[in-house]
Amino acid sequence: MAIKRDDFPLPDVDDPLTAPFFAGAAQDELLIPRCESCGEYVWYPQATCPHDGGALVWTPVSGRGTLFTWAVVQRAFLPAFEDQVPFVTALVALEEDPAVRLCTYVVDTAPEHLVADSPVEVTFRPLEFTTVPGRSVMVPMFVPGSAQP
Partner 1 sequence: MPDTADWGHATELDAGLAPVAITGIGETAYTKASGRTAREIGAEAAQRAIADAGLTPADIDGITWSGAFADFDVDAFHEHFGTSHEMWTSPWGGGMAWAATAPYLAAQAINDGKARHVLNVFPVAWATQRASMTGGPGEVHAAQSLKQNLEVPFGWFPQPVYFDSIMRRQMIEFGTLPEQFGAIAVACRRHANLHPDAVMHGRPMTIDDYVAAPFLADPLRLLDSCLISDGGAAYVTTSVERARDMPNTPAVVAGVGEGYSSSGGHWALQRAFTSTPQVFSAPGAFAMAGLSPADVDVLTVYDPFTVVSLMQIEDMGFCPKGEAGRFVEGDTLFHDAGKLPFNTHGGLLSHAYVLGIAHVVECVKQLRGVAPAQVPDCQVAVYGGYTGHMASTLVLTKDR
Q: Name the site residues for partner 1 (rule: CB under 8 A).
A: 1-3, 5, 8-12, 15, 17-18, 21, 43-45, 68-75, 77-78, 81, 84, 86-87, 89-91, 99, 101-105, 111, 116-117, 127, 137, 139
Least distance from C-beta 101 to Zn ion, angstroms?
Answer: 19
Q: Which is nearer to Zn ion, 33 or 63 (CB)?
A: 33
* Residues 12-51 interacting with Zn ion (rule: CB under 5 A): 35, 38, 49, 51
56 near Zn ion, rule: CB under 5 A: no
Of 57 and 71, which CB lies nearer to Zn ion in the complex structure? 57
Contacts 24+ apart (CB under 8 A), 68-77: 68/92, 68/93, 68/98, 68/101, 68/116, 68/117, 69/116, 70/106, 70/111, 70/114, 72/111
48 binds, among partner 1, Zn ion, none (CB under 5 to 8 A by kind): none
DSSP 65-134: EEEEEEEEE-S-SSGGGTTT-SEEEEEEEESS-TT-EEEEEB-SS-GGG--TT-EEEEEEEEE--TTSTT
The residues of the shown chain that bind Zn ion, judged by CB under 5 A, are: 35, 38, 49, 51-52, 54
